[in-house]
Amino acid sequence: MKVVVIGDTLVNSQTLIEAVNEMKLGGTIEEIESFEWYSDLTKDQFQEHILAIERGGPEAVEIPAGIIEALSNADYLFAHYAPISRKMIEAGQRLKLIGTCRGGLENVNLEAIKEKEIPLVHVIRNAEPVADFTIGLMYAETRNIARAHCAIQQGKWEKSFSNDSYKTTLANLTVGIVGVGYIGKQVIERLNGLKVSVIAYDPFVDRERLAADGLNVTLKENLTDLFKEADIISLHMRVTPETKQMINKKYINLMKPSAYIINTARADILCKEDLVDALRNKKIAGAAMDVSWTEPIPTDDPLLKLENVTLTTHIAGDTVDAIPRSPFLLKKVVNDYMEKGYSDMLIKIE
């Protein structure tokens, strides 16, 4: 069999090759052909191409030279940030599986994969760091950690905050998880360890699999119930046409005045105007977000004038080992899929 890998500045092709050699693909790997997608750039230079693919998708950027010919007789394709375009997918007449190991799927033409009925395994390379960070934001916002520090730097010794009448320990709160994918499950696992009550909503989740994974969570039939009941709502969905601005005033207005929103997923899940209105008018207690609708946040952004929001600079997944070692996480998931015939990381394209 033949495997094609595509490296880039953040994940080199040699690491992908090492991971492929540990994959149990059901036969002998006769050839691994590697390609590079701007691997010679610095991280700062590579950022330009990251933004291009996130804004325009795989058809808006150049694909590696020679990749079309290589895919014509390839059985597997593995990449990190490189584009997986329609032209590439259509060239891969023998492809049995495609695997990626980055946070989102903006670099993949999902419609073409659906048409060709090629299984797509997507590993969220920084799931554990993001899950850790999500819990950190819950503490930071509900207990005013960041804003107390900021006040001290400004020469103030603040002891009173806008959420004073709601402050309590995390164990006294119910956390609502929206989206029980890989990261959502990691957050639930951590909350279980902290003995925090967890409810969740995800129309695609398998209840039996959750139980088999040992996760203690109550699934809700709809978002309405979750937003009414939760004290903290943590968002963990992908941005799709169906989820874009899905969390708007329809649901925000259902929240308790003591409740919080946490977002370490994508900003476009939330309707910014409705969130700002709720925070400004104290309809909810607060919000904490690692993502923004424009990055960097403009200096005149209304969020910067609010006293009940914690903002960070899209760093939830930024650890020294998460990205470079992501092919080995992909290896683990591919092996699980090859053995069982299914995986939590197998993308269901509706």
Catalytic residue among 266, 280, 307, 339: 266
Q: Is 48 a catalytic residue?
A: no
Look up tokens 């610095």; give the residue.
42
Residue with tokens 């470079």, as numbered in its chain: 324
Q: Catalytic residue, from 86, 143, 314, 325: name it.
A: 314
Residue with tokens 């806008």: 162
Catalytic residue selected from 115, 295, 307, 339: 295
Q: Widest CA span of the chain, in angstroms?
A: 67
Q: Phi and psi at residue 116, in whole multiples of 5°? A: -85, -10
Helix (H) or strand (E) holding 86: helix 86-91
**Separation between Cα atoms, residue 96 and residue 6, nearest integer Å:** 17
Fill in the amino acid letter for 190.
R
Contact by Cβ (8 Å): 35, 88: no
The encoded tokens of residue 320 equal 């020294």
236 is catalytic: no
- Residue given tokens 């992501």 in the structure block: 326
> In the annotation, is 115 catalytic?
no
Tokens 């003591």, located at residue: 258
Active site residues: 266, 295, 314
